[in-house]
Chain A
Amino acid sequence: MSLRVVVVHPDLLGTYGDGGNGVVLVQRARWRGIAAELLEATSDGPLPVGDLYCLGGGEDAAQAASAERLRADAVLARAAERGSPVLAVCAGYQILGRTFPAADGRPLAGVGLLDVSTAKGTGRRAVGEILAEPLCTDLPVLTGFENHGGLTARGPNVDPLARVESGVGNGDGTDGAVSGRVVGTYLHGPVLARNPALADLLLSWATGLSLEPLDDGEEAALRDERIAAVRARHAGRWLSCLGRTARTARYVSGRS
């Protein structure tokens, strides 16, 4: 019996390359000798029963259409209830909450697997590299690229996935939400390609196995580069800020 990884509605939630999360999960299972198959479940058919579900980012209208279908057939909710892990990214994360905004900002009903609510932000879209320190697991720092206009408020029944070191995430200094084995996040990249430890956590939940490590040299090189790039930019900003302060201080003291 092989592990069935379901990519949910790639035709609606496939705008930002997040389908790669499914590829990463299946390959990491296979490389360990675990038979695995990738099911790309487009929105024109029923959602198949699987062992692990991935949702990705998409446009406003597509996001609403996906939520409507997921609410109607309840396959995903039942799977989550049985303990199947679910990874939801960006628009996919938003629709797993209680409410999310339509294109015009009006709240729509979400699938309700996570105690979060998303509203349209008032400022600019959050677009850029994001770095976040995981809070409820012992994963290494999470790296990704975020691109969203919504801000997500957490209710009492979820934990945040991570504390944001650089970037916006939920908008309150945290990113994502975790409830049981349902994980939401704003990180693209795809998030599992950039954070293979998170992929292995989901796989160990789905299989019940403790997984031997893989040689992740390519991923390690990518992670080092992205993390260093974000921190260097931060350091640069601090330095230029310090420089300005020093110049101002000199100017003020020179005048006095």
Chain B
Amino acid sequence: MVATRVVNALSRRLAAGSGTVAGGHVGLAVDPRLLEHLAAGRRVALVSGTNGKTTTTRLLAVALEGSLGRIATNATGSNMPTGHVTALAGAPPGAPAVLEVDEGYLPGLVGALVPEVVVLLNLSRDQLDRTNEVRMLSNRWRRAFSGSPATAVVANADDPLVVWAALPAAKPTWVAAGLSWRRDAIGCPACAGRVEFSSAEKGGWACACGFARPRPDVVLDADEIVLADGRRHRLTLALPGRFNRANAVMAAAAAATMGVGWEESLRQIAAVGEVAGRFSVVEVGGCSARVMLAKNPAGWRELLDLVAPGERPVVVGINARVADGRDPSWLWDVPFERLCGRQVVATGERCRDLSVRLRYAEVAHRTVRDEVAAVRAAWMAHGGGTPGAADVDFIGNYTAFTDVMSRATERTRA
């Protein structure tokens, strides 16, 4: 296949010289089937879902690396085909691929690449101004897996919309990874009835039509992973939060289906301290901030759980650019009430929307539009402190987070 090799070489050069997406654009314009060609002869794992994609992709790549060598992966979250082309073109032929995939692109990629394994994390509302209704997405995923018997699926058994999508898969691995946001999971995807979550059985759910949680093959139980045969593995992570434990168990389960043992992958995963900057401590405005990203109500809920018990001032950054979704009404689905009593600064282009939300949550706060000035204001109000340890927690939605990262002067600690 001379054509493929030419395109391969061409796109590798393009990818090396440019950012993550531009090279992919050109490559795909030259050959629409470029991705299939680039993926040929590789073992491919795909990771998709509303929240946790970037982290799980990284954890899976790290879990495989020790045994399988160099991995082709789109580590920066460019999760559409152009980003995939760049990731594959930049890695040696034959290197296994672990790709983060935008939810909407997943069915097409499952068909085109026939992946060895697909990881399905969760589905919930995201970007209100795009009408990607989650039930519709679940059905599109489902159709893709009915036509892909060679693909193993690692699916979150606690999310009814994920289970609905994964049921037709030939070899589903059901992982009880938890689901803290249930508002989008109540409408039964099988019959339009109502999914009831059980208070008796942890994580249990069922609809009257018979659609119910499958028996899990892997259970995340606090800091332990329990397998169907009774074996237990301790889960130690440098990354904080319940949601990252869920991401880790999904990644390790996928690694297991690809032949990498649980102990090996969990050891590799344990050392990861930050993912694409998330949870890292950076120097911003003369003080240090732990920076975190949350894009939708499910993600915010998890991060508020993480920061609410702390002492540090909290800076919350909200933008509403196209990449964030232009309607920030979802702020009213986030329980900001949990920040009552904390020092809070509202920032970002839509800090006014956030400020009104915080007013009704009765969270005392200041409003400082510029993100770096906001971090500084929070730190000063707190009485300063020794730079070095994190002084401030910063949580931003997508572009607010990337803005802060691009203006951080130094990364002090991973």
User: Is the A/B pair a real complex?
Assistant: yes
The answer to the question of B352 belonging to the interface, with a C-beta cut-off of 8 Å to chain A, is yes
Contact with A along B327-339 (1 / 0, CB 8 A): 1011111000000
Instruction: Provide the bound-state CA to CA distance between A20 and B354, in Å.
Output: 12
The answer to the question of B192 belonging to the interface, with a C-beta cut-off of 8 Å to chain A, is yes
Residue pair B326, A125 in contact (C-beta under 8 Å) = no
Q: CB within 8 Å of A: which of B68-123?
A: none
The answer to the question of B355 belonging to the interface, with a C-beta cut-off of 8 Å to chain A, is yes
**Which single member of B131, B135, B356 contacts A222 (CB below 8 Å)?**
B356
Contact with B along A160-176 (1 / 0, CB 8 A): 00000000000000000
CB closest residue in chain A, given B330: A17
A19 CB, min distance to chain B CBs, angstroms: 6
Instruction: Provide the bound-state CA to CA distance between A23 and B361, in Å.
Output: 9
The answer to the question of A190 belonging to the interface, with a C-beta cut-off of 8 Å to chain B, is yes
CB closest residue in chain A, given B358: A218
Contact with A along B14-40 (1 / 0, CB 8 A): 000000000000000000000000000
Chain A interface secondary structure, helix, strand, loop or mixed? mixed
**Which single member of B326, B331, B355, B360 contacts A17 (CB below 8 Å)?**
B331
Residue pair A23, B332 in contact (C-beta under 8 Å) = yes
Residue pair A222, B352 in contact (C-beta under 8 Å) = yes
**Which single member of B183, B327, B356 contacts A188 (CB below 8 Å)?**
B327
A215 CB, min distance to chain B CBs, angstroms: 10
* Interface pick from A8-16, A106-114, A201-209, A239-247: A8-16
Residues of A within 8 A of B362 (CB): 27
Contact with A along B186-218 (1 / 0, CB 8 A): 110000101000000000000000000000000
Residue pair A188, B326 in contact (C-beta under 8 Å) = no
CB closest residue in chain A, given B128: A16
**Which single member of B187, B352, B357 contacts A221 (CB below 8 Å)?**
B352
The answer to the question of B353 belonging to the interface, with a C-beta cut-off of 8 Å to chain A, is yes
* Interface pick from A58-66, A74-82, A91-99, A134-142: A58-66
Residues of B within 8 A of A24 (CB): 360
Q: Which of A16, A23, A43, A128 counts the most B-chain CB atoms under 10 A from its CB?
A: A16
Residue pair B329, A189 in contact (C-beta under 8 Å) = yes
B240 CB, min distance to chain A CBs, angstroms: 27
CB closest residue in chain B, given A10: B183
Residues of A within 8 A of B326 (CB): 127-128, 145
Instruction: Provide the bound-state CA to CA distance between A64 and B46, in Å.
Output: 36
**Which single member of A11, A19, A127 contacts B129 (CB below 8 Å)?**
A127
**Which single member of A12, A18, A128 contacts B329 (CB below 8 Å)?**
A18
Q: A11-B186, A218-B359 are in contact. List 19 more A-B contacts (CB 8 A).
A: A11-B183, A12-B187, A14-B333, A17-B128, A17-B331, A19-B332, A27-B362, A44-B194, A59-B187, A61-B187, A61-B192, A127-B326, A128-B129, A145-B129, A145-B329, A188-B329, A193-B332, A222-B352, A222-B353
- Interface residues in chain B, defined as those with a beta carbon under 8 Å from any beta carbon in chain A: 125, 128-129, 131, 133, 135, 183, 186-187, 192, 194, 326-327, 329-333, 352-353, 355-357, 359-360, 362, 367
Instruction: List the 3 shortest-distance A-B pairs measured between CB atoms, nearest first.
Output: A20-B332, A17-B329, A222-B352
- Interface residues in chain A, defined as those with a beta carbon under 8 Å from any beta carbon in chain B: 10-12, 14-20, 23-24, 27, 43-44, 59, 61-62, 65, 125, 127-128, 145, 147, 188-190, 193-194, 218-219, 221-222, 225-226
